[in-house]
Structures are given as C-alpha cells and as structure tokens.
Amino acid sequence: MPVYTFKLADDGRGVEDETGVSLSDDERAYRYACDVIRELMRCRERCTRHWRLDVYQHDGEKVFEIPFASLDPTLDHLNAQLREQVELTARRVRSLTDAFEAAKVTAREAKSLVAHSRGKPYLAVDHGRKVIRENT
C-alpha cells in the first residue's frame, strides 16, 4: 500500500509529515487530506482560508495540493462568482505569505553565512531546520 505524506502551508514555515499514512490510492489520500483540512479549519475558517495542504507519495512526488478555501463551508452561501473571487484572494494571500516566508529564510541564511565567513557565532538551526541550505 502506498505511503502518503503531507505538508501544511500555514502562516509560518509550515509543518511537514515525516511519518506518512498508508492509504490504498490517490482517491483515499485526497479524502483523508480533506478530512484533515476540515478539522484544522473548524471554527477558524477566516484565519485559515489561505492555507494549503500538499499531498506527496512516498517517492516525494507531489500528488496534489488542496487550498483550504476550496473546502470552506462558510463560503457555501455565496454565489459561484463571488466564491471564486474569495478563493482567488485566498490563493493570492497564500502566494504572498510564501514569498514573505522565503524572503525571511533567505535573509536568515545570508546573516548566518556572513557571520560564519567572519568566524563569528551564527545561527545553524532554526526550529529543527538548517539555516544554511546545502547546495543541491
């Protein structure tokens, strides 16, 4: 049975599932991911509407990504055009949040590289992740 892992794109650096879940196929993985999203979003829809859950197969290949706004039950009363606009806005907020987080990571890495090159103490790990990325 394939193992699926998940990565939450939230307001910070996100949360990655390192263990994974054994599910029979992509359809079950999608339904499982939707259940996780509904649970994370419950009673916090407005604050989490721009979040996204990415689903990966065991080989690291992204199977699909699910924007929280697409499952937001508080938008069900809207007509299709208005709901589409809200979902588009949520995607734009997600893009901006991702860009801002990437800029913070880059700035943190640059400061560490400069300090390291000068023989000064530097931040090596932040929240369990290496600050200075390895060249790949």
Return the pLDDT at 73: 96
- Residue 136 clears pLDDT 60, i.e. is over it: no
**Other beta carbons within 10 Å of 33:** 22
Check residue 114 and give left, alpha or beta (phi > 0: left; psi -120 to 50: alpha). Answer: alpha
Domain boundaries, the chain: 3-130
For the chain, the first-to-last Cα distance in angstroms comes to 30
- Residue 26 clears pLDDT 80, i.e. is over it: yes
Render 12-56 in DSSP notation, one character per residue. SS-EE-SS-EE-SSHHHHHHHHHHHHHHHHTT-HHHHTT-EEEEE
Find, among 62, 65, 35, 64, the residue nearest to 50 by Cα. 65
- pTM equals 0.83
